[in-house]
Amino acid sequence: MPTVHLPDRILIRLDGPDAEHFLQNIVTTDLDQLAAGEAKPGALLTPQGKVLFDFLVSRDGDTAFLLECRTDIADDFLRRLMMYRMRAKVEIAKPDQLVVLASWQADSSGSENDSTAGAGLRDLRFPAELGVFRVYAAEAKGDANIEAYHQLRIENGVVESGSDYQLGDAFPHDILLDLSGGVGVRKGCYVGQEVVSRMQHRGTARRRVMLVKGQAPLPSSGTELTVNGRTIGTLGSVAGTDGLAIVRIDRVKDALDSGTPIEASGVTVTLSIPAWAGYTLPESATGDQD
């Protein structure tokens, strides 16, 4: 099975009798539904419901949790967690000498409960049949290059901040957290919960992640996707003719209905919904509201 070291990822560890209660009250993920051996996506939101920090969360023994996030935002994330801690009995720190590895095409019969074992933690953002795991280990071992991992992400519609969107710019629904297990719709209150719940119950999510396929190699990340010169979204991660984008799905629907090409800096592209996502394009466009 291919394994790659992800040098731009780091861990934050929370431990103590109040760790689960503390996290449950501030992040989008429903920790009641998080089993040992699983790594689930999640976010800490602004009060306005936008993603302030994104991460993968997993259990580490009976009372501890590991939050895997981008290395460049870890200190800010840790400080924000400390700000929310108040009198909660929880220790928050970055563990030394642990690196983040990703593996795929793993044998699902392997150990899923030992985060240092070959199978590690099942990454629930990916379809189970792909056998994608996170491994938190002392050594940066890997036999694959990081481009292979990003290709896997792109092919499966798995977005990450920095590469595909900027923190503070996206709602959880925009990045499919509501469909990948990253939002607990029945868990109760957390920071930004009212906005997320309103979008969930009203079905008002108009921006979604879509797979991009170019008729020629795609331009660089950050290039606008346009229809007749009108912007409908922005390219995120790109690998050759494949890419990811967060787009206005009502405008995608308009383009498809009218047969108008969608372009990225002159390259004609087709857009599709990730197979696992389960959302649909609207039956009709929602107009010009932003």
What are the residue boundaries of the structural domains of the chain, listed by start?
3-155, 206-290
pLDDT at 1 > cutoff 60: yes
Q: What's the confidence (pLDDT) of residue 112?
A: 39
Residues 49-77 have pLDDT tens digits of 999 999 999 999 999 999 999 999 999 99
Residues 87-145 have pLDDT tens digits of 999 999 999 889 999 999 976 544 433 333 345 999 999 999 999 999 999 888 888 89
Q: Give me the architecture of the 3-155 domain, per CATH.
A: 2-Layer Sandwich (3.30)
pTM of the predicted structure, to 2 decimals: 0.91
Q: How far apart are CA 22 and CA 88, in angstroms?
A: 7
Residues 187-225 have pLDDT tens digits of 889 999 999 999 998 877 899 999 999 999 999 999 999
Q: How far apart are CA 236 and CA 212, in angstroms?
A: 10
Q: Return the higher-pLDDT residue of 115 and 21.
A: 21
pLDDT at 285 > cutoff 60: no
Cβ neighbours for 95, distance < 8 A, ≥ 6 positions apart: 11, 13, 66
C-alpha torsion 107→113→114→120, nearest 10: 40
Question: In the chain, what are the helix, strand and coil shares in percent, each to the nearest 5?
Answer: 20, 30, 50
CATH dotted code for 206-290? 2.40.30
